[in-house]
């Protein structure tokens, strides 16, 4: 069944029933809940509470709108390795409407959106990727409807709004100088509903799904920072948890991408790394199922999760001044080591899940 054509009995089904439908047994479910607890930095004992809450929860309806964007956010999610927590979470929701993933087109697609908004009025999660152009209504339209108008309409019945990616969260590349379309963020326009920002270009899949998991488990959105980002994923900088941090603290820096320092894995600060001023979870959750992240691949962080990162002085231009004192550095390294243990466990349990479960749930199932 395609996105936008889910039957209402599945929307009303409990998550426990949905898991059974996918052949997920109790043991696998508990392993999954333990992974969720680790992801949310909760103690292991929380897995039982998560299992109880998730088992009773109803599948929430999600409407996903895509405005001025490159589809990277959706690609990030759907290209994540599978089976995974990401795919599990997205099978636990009722993705009623998604511009990119849905099979429906034209009038049928718009009818699906209107039907989903009506059926789950006041309860659905509205996910938006892409910025909204205010310069001219015709700069970006869907079915002839300006992005601004579609957002305004869809937000009325939403329980909460999740702005996925740096474009939706902060305006992103469309808003880079000289901002020809007058692009603004979702939060610039939505003032009467809770808005969670999940920045990143693209955002990390496990961070997207972690926010939805929190909503499923606790029935509420996670605690946010001053920029509307979930603190559990954006509470520390890349630099705080970077495995190259000891080299930074020792003053050992690569001066070019092919010098001896680069080969030895020294700090990339002098090559323009923006890790010290970028809040995101890349250094701990990593990408592609915990395989790597930009700095581990030999390139500095370009600060893609921060507001106006494209206009902040050049990707390869170093920050003006090394930061932090040695006490802070020591604390950062200790915290990084602890997080590394937790994340390593998380990634290990995910791999075990993949091997043990033989489960068949994939994001692609949403299209059936």
Binding site for ligand SF4 (CB under 6 A): 238-239, 242, 244-245, 248, 267-269, 273, 275-276, 295, 300-301
Instruction: Using alpha carbons only, give the angle 287, 43, 80 rounded to the nearest 5 degrees.
Output: 20
Rounded CA gap, 154 and 125, in Å? Answer: 10
Among 18-26, 60-68, 209-217, 290-298, which window interacts with ligand F3S (CB under 6 A)?
290-298
Which DSSP state fits 334?
H
Which DSSP state fits 45?
T
Regarding 301 and contact with ligand F3S (CB under 6 A), the answer is: yes
- Nearest CA-CA partner of 273 in 264, 284, 262: 262
Contact pick of 88, 305, 333, 361 for ligand F3S (by CB under 6 A) = 305
Report the nearest approach of ligand F3S to the CB of residue 317 (Å): 15
Rounded CA gap, 248 and 262, in Å? Answer: 13
Give the binding-site size for ligand F3S (rule: CB under 6 A): 13
- Nearest CA-CA partner of 219 in 194, 199, 236, 190: 194
How many residues are recorded in the chain? Answer: 368
Report the nearest approach of ligand F3S to the CB of residue 112 (Å): 33
**Residue 305: which of ligand SF4, ligand F3S, none does it interact with, CB under 5 to 8 A by kind?**
ligand F3S
Regarding 293 and contact with ligand F3S (CB under 6 A), the answer is: yes
**Residue 357: which of ligand F3S, ligand SF4, none does it interact with, CB under 5 to 8 A by kind?**
none
Report the nearest approach of ligand SF4 to the CB of residue 300 (Å): 6
Regarding 282 and contact with ligand F3S (CB under 6 A), the answer is: yes
Q: Which two tokens stand for residue 323?
A: 């930061």
Q: Which two tokens stand for residue 77?
A: 């999610």
Q: Which is nearer to ligand SF4, 64 or 269 (CB)?
A: 269
Q: Which two tokens stand for residue 75?
A: 């690609």
**Residue 244: which of ligand SF4, ligand F3S, none does it interact with, CB under 5 to 8 A by kind?**
ligand SF4
**Residue 245: which of ligand F3S, ligand SF4, none does it interact with, CB under 5 to 8 A by kind?**
ligand SF4
Report the nearest approach of ligand F3S to the CB of residue 148 (Å): 28
**Residue 280: which of ligand SF4, ligand F3S, none does it interact with, CB under 5 to 8 A by kind?**
ligand F3S
Rounded CA gap, 234 and 228, in Å? Answer: 10
Residue whose token pair is 């499923």: 216
Regarding 280 and contact with ligand F3S (CB under 6 A), the answer is: yes
Contact pick of 50, 195, 268, 304 for ligand F3S (by CB under 6 A) = 304
Q: Which is nearer to ligand F3S, 90 or 293 (CB)?
A: 293
Backbone phi, psi, residue 209, to 5°:
-75, -25
Q: Which is nearer to ligand F3S, 6 or 278 (CB)?
A: 278
Which residues is 230 bridged to in the sheet? 224
Rounded CA gap, 13 and 69, in Å? Answer: 33
> Is residue 272 reached through a cis peptide bond, with omega within 30 degrees of 0 on the bond before it?
no
**Residue 67: which of ligand SF4, ligand F3S, none does it interact with, CB under 5 to 8 A by kind?**
none
Rounded CA gap, 47 and 42, in Å? Answer: 8
343: Cβ–Cβ under 8 A, 6 or more apart, which residues? 38, 284, 285, 286, 290
**Residue 302: which of ligand F3S, ligand SF4, none does it interact with, CB under 5 to 8 A by kind?**
ligand F3S
* Strand duo 124-129 + 183-184: pairing: unpaired
Which stretch of DSSP H or E encloses residue 145? strand 145-146
**Residue 242: which of ligand SF4, ligand F3S, none does it interact with, CB under 5 to 8 A by kind?**
ligand SF4
Regarding 238 and contact with ligand F3S (CB under 6 A), the answer is: yes
Q: Which is nearer to ligand F3S, 171 or 200 (CB)?
A: 200
Rounded CA gap, 54 and 217, in Å? Answer: 5
Among 93-101, 145-153, 214-222, 294-302, which window interacts with ligand F3S (CB under 6 A)?
294-302
Query: Given the rule CB under 6 A, which residues bind ligand F3S?
Result: 200, 238, 278, 280, 282, 293-295, 301-305
């Amino acid at each position: 069944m395609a996105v936008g054509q889910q039957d209402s009995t599945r929307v009303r089904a409990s998550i426990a029933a949905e898991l059974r439908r996918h052949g997920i047994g109790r043991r696998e479910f508990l392993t999954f809940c333990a992974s969720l607890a680790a992801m949310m930095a909760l103690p292991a004992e929380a897995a039982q509470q998560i299992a109880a809450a998730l088992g009773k929860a109803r599948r929430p309806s999600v409407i996903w709108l895509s405005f001025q964007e490159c589809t990277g956010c959706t690609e990030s999610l759907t290209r994540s390795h599978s089976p995974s927590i990401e795919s599990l979470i997205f099978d636990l929701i009722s993705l009623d409407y998604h511009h990119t993933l849905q099979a429906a087109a034209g009038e049928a697609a718009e009818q699906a959106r209107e039907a989903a908004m009506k059926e789950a009025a006041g309860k659905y999660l509205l996910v938006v990727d892409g910025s909204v152009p205010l310069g001219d209504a015709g700069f970006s339209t869907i079915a002839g409807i300006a992005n601004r108008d579609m957002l305004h309409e869809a937000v009325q019945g939403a329980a909460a709004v999740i702005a996925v990616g740096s474009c939706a969260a902060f305006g992103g590349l469309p808003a880079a100088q000289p901002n020809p379309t007058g692009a603004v963020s979702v939060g610039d326009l939505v003032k009467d509903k809770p808005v969670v920002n999940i920045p990143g270009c693209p955002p990390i899949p496990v961070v997207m799904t972690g926010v939805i998991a929190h909503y499923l488990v606790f029935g509420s959105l996670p605690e946010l920072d001053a920029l509307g980002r979930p603190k559990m994923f954006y509470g520390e900088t890349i630099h705080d948890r970077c495995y190259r941090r000891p080299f930074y603290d020792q003053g050992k820096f690569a001066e070019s991408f092919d010098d001896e320092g680069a080969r030895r894995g020294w700090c990339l600060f002098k090559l323009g790394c923006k890790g010290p001023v970028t809040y995101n979870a890349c250094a701990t959750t990593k990408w592609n199922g915990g395989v790597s992240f930009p700095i581990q691949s030999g390139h500095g962080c370009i600060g893609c999760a921060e507001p106006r990162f494209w206009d902040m002085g050049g990707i390869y231009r170093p920050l003006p001044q090394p930061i932090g004192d040695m006490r802070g550095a020591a604390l950062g390294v200790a915290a990084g080591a602890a997080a590394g243990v937790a994340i390593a466990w998380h990634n290990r349990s995910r791999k075990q899940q993949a091997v043990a479960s033989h489960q068949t749930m994939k994001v692609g199932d949403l299209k059936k």
